[in-house]
């Protein structure tokens, strides 16, 4: 039985093997003739020349349409599902003009081991973006002064006696020349002054390790820098605030009233001026002059008074004072502190 079965299997063996070979060949040929089209997500990467830093790249993602034999495209599609296809380009120094170059995105950028015999079977179309703008700059290093930034105010009545200092006064900055060459200082993170008492103060603080660069096309990029050291010691001195007093005699008083105020109003004759004394920090008080002080009375509340037509009434009103915003913390004294406003109902 077995002998008969084996004889049946191996009878005409060469003919059957040849038929099988032809079938397999036809299958592979058919697969090669079937065309498949897919759109693949891509990641765009550009490597700058040695000694340069990539400052800006207009696009880092894209798409590309690939068509070709079913089996080949299916394999590429499967691999792309696991990780996006990377289009990579090595930039050379002579391509840069003022640190810029616009590159046409090419299928040959595909960073994937596709044998040449397979690559030539593929067609690439609808590449997006078609071009990318790249900005790269030579990396340089230079020493730049430190600028100590402060925020807040010390205890009331105290002030910074001088500009804060730093130790060290300069730090080494390494980064793209487009940015580093324009820097005049390296700012610290703001040092808090809130509630500090009089005396010398030292505080360890970090430097701001990234700066914004305007590219001139409306784009701005934030670029990290390498700083050495990355921290400094900020030194500052807080002393008592020097105060000063200044008097301004014979300032004219005005009054404020709404546009629809129902009565005529005027100041009592001979009592239209006051004397103002201002007390505050010396540097603030010295800026003040008579034109910067505005004594006034607000008579809006007197609109509710009941005056008969032709009747007149005197009212003692408190004098207020408008100070410039820089003198908001100063104290003031006004003499006299009240003036007489005469209201008249003119009648119909």
In a domain, 269, yes or no: yes
| Same domain membership, residue 181 and residue 115 | no
Helix (H) or strand (E) holding 14: helix 13-33
In a domain, 10, yes or no: no
| Same domain membership, residue 142 and residue 122 | no
The region, left, alpha or beta by phi > 0 then psi within -120 to 50, assigned to residue 109 is: alpha
| Same domain membership, residue 115 and residue 101 | yes
In a domain, 27, yes or no: no
pLDDT at 231 (0 to 100)? 96
pLDDT at 142 (0 to 100)? 97
Last residue of one domain, picked from the residues 129, 159, 175: 129
In a domain, 171, yes or no: yes
Largest pairwise CA distance in the chain: 144
pLDDT at 219 (0 to 100)? 83
| Same domain membership, residue 183 and residue 117 | no
Specify the length of the chain in residues: 348
pLDDT at 24 (0 to 100)? 47
| Block residue for tokens 């324009």 | 182
pLDDT at 32 (0 to 100)? 46
In a domain, 9, yes or no: no
Contact 205, 232 (CB under 8 A): yes
| Same domain membership, residue 216 and residue 152 | yes
Could you give the CA distance from residue 173 to residue 142 in angstroms, rounded to a whole number? 6
Last residue of one domain, picked from the residues 201, 216, 240: 240
Could you give the CA distance from residue 208 to residue 227 in angstroms, rounded to a whole number? 9
Helix (H) or strand (E) holding 12: none
Contact 62, 44 (CB under 8 A): yes
| Block residue for tokens 């990780």 | 83
Lookup: tokens for 225: 């820098």
| Same domain membership, residue 165 and residue 78 | no
Lookup: tokens for 64: 């590309």
Could you give the CA distance from residue 206 to residue 119 in angstroms, rounded to a whole number? 52
The count of domains in the chain is 3
Which CATH number characterizes residue 217's domain?
Answer: 2.170.120.40
| Same domain membership, residue 112 and residue 153 | no
Q: What are phi and psi of 116, to 5 degrees?
A: -55, -35
Domain residues for 153?
A: 138-240
In a domain, 24, yes or no: no
Last residue of one domain, picked from the residues 110, 129, 148: 129
Crossing angle for the helix pair 13-33 and 70-82, to the nearest 10 degrees:
60
Q: Where are the alpha helices (DSSP H) in 66-221?
A: 70-82, 116-119, 177-180
In a domain, 22, yes or no: no
| Same domain membership, residue 80 and residue 59 | yes
Lookup: tokens for 42: 């891509």
CA 218 to chain centre: 14
Of 297, 289, 282, residue with least CA distance to 323: 289
Which CATH number characterizes residue 294's domain?
Answer: 2.170.120.30
| Same domain membership, residue 319 and residue 255 | yes
Of 140, 133, 137, residue with least CA distance to 218: 133
| Same domain membership, residue 112 and residue 142 | no
Neighbours of 238 (CB within 10 A): 19
pLDDT, tens digit, for every residue of 238-288?
887 778 899 999 999 988 888 888 898 888 877 788 999 999 888 889 899
In a domain, 325, yes or no: yes
Bridge partners (DSSP) of residue 246 are 278
| Same domain membership, residue 269 and residue 196 | no
Residues with pLDDT less than 70, the chain: 1-34, 113
| Same domain membership, residue 282 and residue 309 | yes
């Amino acid at each position: 039985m077995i002998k008969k079965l084996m004889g049946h299997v191996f009878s005409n063996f060469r003919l059957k093997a040849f038929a099988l070979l032809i079938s397999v060949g036809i299958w592979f040929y058919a697969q090669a003739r079937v065309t498949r089209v897919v759109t693949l997500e891509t990641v765009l990467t550009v490597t700058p020349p040695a000694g340069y830093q990539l400052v800006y790249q207009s696009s880092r993602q894209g798409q590309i349409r690939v068509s070709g034999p079913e089996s080949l495209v299916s394999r590429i599609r499967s691999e792309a599902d696991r990780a996006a296809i990377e289009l990579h380009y090595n930039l050379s120094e002579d391509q840069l003009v003022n640190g810029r170059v616009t590159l046409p995105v090419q299928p040959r950028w595909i960073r994937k081991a596709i044998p040449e015999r397979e690559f030539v079977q593929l067609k690439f179309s609808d590449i997006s973006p078609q071009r990318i703008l790249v900005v790269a700059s030579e990396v340089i290093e230079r020493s730049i002064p430190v600028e100590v930034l402060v925020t807040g105010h010390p205890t009331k009545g105290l002030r910074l006696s001088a500009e804060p200092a730093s130790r060290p006064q300069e730090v080494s900055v390494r980064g793209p020349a487009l940015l580093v060459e324009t820097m005049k200082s390296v700012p610290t993170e703001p040092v808090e002054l809130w509630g500090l008492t009089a005396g010398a103060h030292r505080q360890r603080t970090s430097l701001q390790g990234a700066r914004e660069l305007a590219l001139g096309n409306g784009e701005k990029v934030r670029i990290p820098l390498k700083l050495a050291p990355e921290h400094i010691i900020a030194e500052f001195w807080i002393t008592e605030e020097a105060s000063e007093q200044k008097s301004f005699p014979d300032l004219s008083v005005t009054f404020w009233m709404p546009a629809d105020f129902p009565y005529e109003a005027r100041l009592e004759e001979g009592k239209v001026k006051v004397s103002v004394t201002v007390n505050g920090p010396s540097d603030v008080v010295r800026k003040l002059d008579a034109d910067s002080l505005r004594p006034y009375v607000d008579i809006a509340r007197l609109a509710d008074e009941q005056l008969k037509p032709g009747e007149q009434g005197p009212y003692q009103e408190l004098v207020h004072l408008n100070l410039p915003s820089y003198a908001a913390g100063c104290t003031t004294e006004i003499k006299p502190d009240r003036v007489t406003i005469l209201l008249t109902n003119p009648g119909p």
